[in-house]
Structure 1
Amino acid sequence: MPFRLYFGEDDLLRCRFAVSPLWETQEAVRTLGRPDRHGYHPNWLRRIREAARGLDLATLWLLMPRRGHSPDFLGPPPIGPAATFEEEIAGVRAADPEAAREDMARALADTPGALESARGRALLADPRRAVLELAGLMEAAWRALVEPEWPRLRALLEADVAFHSRRLAEVGLGALLPELDRRMSWDGRTLTVDWAGEHGRELGGQGLVLMPSVFSWPDVISGFDPPWQPTVVYPARGLAGLWAEPGGEASRALVRLLGRGRAAVLAALTDPATTTALAHRLGLAPSSVSAHLTVLRDAGLLTSRRYGHQVLYERTPLGMALAAGD
């Protein structure tokens, strides 16, 4: 059941990239409640463990179903290419209470038992108060979970935008969209995202926001309803090197486990790379690197994907954990 976004001629000229600290905060909260995502961020989880214990995120989690609608007003498309968290959270606080109530009701309906819960009933009974309460919870989550790490997160997200902006100039939008993630396909007018959920929308001259995300990883997310600008959130490049801070002892242990050549290849994959790039980086023959990559991929430590005419390799969560000494 895919997402389908239908482009007109004007929409092709009105597409942009953006980065959103508010979105990363929402998805950091969701990640804490999603054990299936924990393997991508083990070092972050350790660093924020104490801070997270001081947060009561139950109300936010109630509005974050595993499948289904999440309130758009809590994580809307960014208002600009470089909006600050303060600017974005001000927009949340200014949300229309009745529109927010409808938004929350849809999310609660997709969370088993949420509509009948005391928290769910309280949110719908006084939406104006709920908007302010939720904005306060999001701000507390930003301060505790994301703001201390924002410089490194922002650097990775901006690097992704810079890379894909260059690709846009090289190959055009139609070729770029499927490169962002293998679950996207383009037929000349329609962007189809192969992911859970059913959604279709005419862009209607608004264009499209393309937004890399760290904490949404590995999901592709779309489905924003009017009046929000159509947006696709895709997994940011280079996640493997974001949290990894391997020390000497961990590196020696990795060599003992995998052998020197394979350990070197795994450690060098701090961001997605081709066989040729890795061979140049490590000073090894491409044939040797290719053999190591095949073994590491077959062992579940790497994945490979086609990116234009190249094949890129990147670490899986297990590969990230091993490289980081976890």
Structure 2
Amino acid sequence: MRPRASLRGRHAAHYSFGWSRIAHPDPVSSAEDPSETVLPLTLHLGTEDLTRCRFAVSPLCQTHEALRMLRRPDRHAFHRDWLRRVRDVAAGLDLAELWLFIPRKGGYTPDFLGPPPRTPNASFEEELAQMRATDPAMARTELARSLACTPGAATSPYGRAALEDPAATVRRLADLTERAWHALLAPDWPRHQALLESDIAYRSRQLADGGLEALFSDLHPEIGWADDTLTLRMYADLKEAQGPDGRGVLLMPSVFVRPDVVSGFARPWQPTVIYPARGTGGPPTGAAPAEAPAALARLLGPHRAAVLVGLDGPASTTTLANRHGLALSSVSSHLSVLREAGLLVSHRQGQYVLYERTALGDALAAGAR
């Protein structure tokens, strides 16, 4: 799954735990492990790369990031509510073999556990099928590299089994991932997906309005962009880093990576940057959004007012229906009325029609608060 760091880089060969690690070092600091250093990684994007930058939502990636949080709950103060909520369910899952390849303190996690999604909004089932189809020879190489990061892992029962029969190991890891998905993430996925799609809509507008500099400068404090060069400050084994070389860059928002960023640049995978989605002080908890102020609710009706007030960034009808727990037909009707009143505008973004407030809508929503 790409080493993490602060940028998780697939490219890094080390799953360092984040930009936050720079300010809050782990007990095993970089001084104790000279292979992990904080260095700026610069990646020049050529013309082909610039035309192949894309966004995607990955439920498989979200699953493995959630599991990583369960491995190191002490590093994830942003997500304490979610961790408390799933603690009992997680305790009933036997994930020991999967966790062997998601090291607690740095180390490489096999890339095939989270390959870049092929489409912007792949389903978990589609991504899991891609994982199951991993070539056994490549899987063995990545499994061996991951095991080498943890003393004694390669000679453990799971480690020996992985090296002796990588194809069977891929199947077992996929089964464990599927179990974790259904137990931990699937119940909340509509809300997670809505949040991630809203982030992509916001970033797409940033890109359209201000170009790549506006986009990258706002993704994370340790990401920079200038002169067609992407700069990432991270703990990394830079020997593994490879430039995009025409492959472009895949950008994926995540509910679970905050305060970190994750990256991967090793072939044959498309270079990937996974960043914290907007509004993720923690993942969605299933709670309904706050009600609109009483005065605005009396003016517009409670549900229509809630849709207006809650539309802080571009969002689709499906996103809003999931967010507010309303039927698609009801949300569609509310959006039509609000748009006709000049409070919203709509525009198409790929396969989605996205809605956002106008200046008049902003003024009405702000004035009612």
- Structure-2-length-normalised TM-score: 0.65
- Work out the CA distance in 2 between the residues paired with 1:207 and 1:238: 27
Q: 1:38 to 1:245 in 2, by over 3 A?
A: farther
Where do residues 155-304 of structure 1 align in structure 2 (5 Å cutoff)? 155-199=194-238, 200-240=241-281, 242-243=284-285, 245=287, 281=366
- Work out the CA distance in 2 between the residues paired with 1:62 and 1:246: 37
Shift of 1:182: 1.0
> Residue 3 of structure 1 contacts residue 223 of structure 1 at CA under 8 Å; is this kept in 2?
no
Match of 1:7 among 45, 51, 54: 45
- Work out the CA distance in 2 between the residues paired with 1:32 and 1:282: 41
Shift of 1:106: 1.1
Pair 1:118 & 2:157 matched:
yes
**Structure 1 residues 260-318: Cα deviation after superposition (integer angstroms, max 9, x where no partner):** xxxxxxxx9xx99xxxx9xx84879xxxxxxxxxxxxxxxxxxxxxxxxxxxxxxxxxx
- Work out the CA distance in 2 between the residues paired with 1:234 and 1:205: 22
> Residue 41 of structure 2 contacts residue 232 of structure 2 at CA under 8 Å; is this kept in 1?
yes
Q: 1:215 to 1:116 in 2, by over 3 A?
A: same
- Work out the CA distance in 2 between the residues paired with 1:120 and 1:157: 35
- Work out the CA distance in 2 between the residues paired with 1:195 and 1:237: 21
Match of 2:106 among 42, 49, 67: 67
- Work out the CA distance in 1 between the residues paired with 2:70 and 2:259: 15
Match of 2:63 among 4, 21, 25: 25
SS at match of 1:4: strand
Bigger proportion of residues as helix: 1
Task: State the aligned residue count.
Answer: 260
Q: Give percent identity, aligned residues only.
A: 53
- Work out the CA distance in 1 between the residues paired with 2:210 and 2:42: 22
- The amino acid across from 2:167 in the alignment is R
Shift of 1:245: 4.9
- The amino acid across from 1:148 in the alignment is P
SS at match of 1:195: strand
- The amino acid across from 1:221 in the alignment is V
**Structure 1 residues 169-195: Cα deviation after superposition (integer angstroms, max 9, x where no partner):** 010013311211110012213211111
Shift of 1:206: 1.4
Q: 1:115 to 1:55 in 2, by over 3 A?
A: same
Q: 1:98 to 1:213 in 2, by over 3 A?
A: same
**Structure 1 residues 10-42: Cα deviation after superposition (integer angstroms, max 9, x where no partner):** 111110111100000111111111123442223
Partner residue of 2:141? 102
SS at match of 1:240: coil
- The amino acid across from 1:181 in the alignment is H
- Work out the CA distance in 1 between the residues paired with 2:107 and 2:42: 16
- Work out the CA distance in 1 between the residues paired with 2:65 and 2:368: 39
Shift of 1:46: 3.0
Shift of 1:101: 0.7
SS at match of 2:99: helix
Shift of 1:203: 1.1
Alignment RMSD? 2.7
Shift of 1:6: 2.5
Partner residue of 2:54? 16
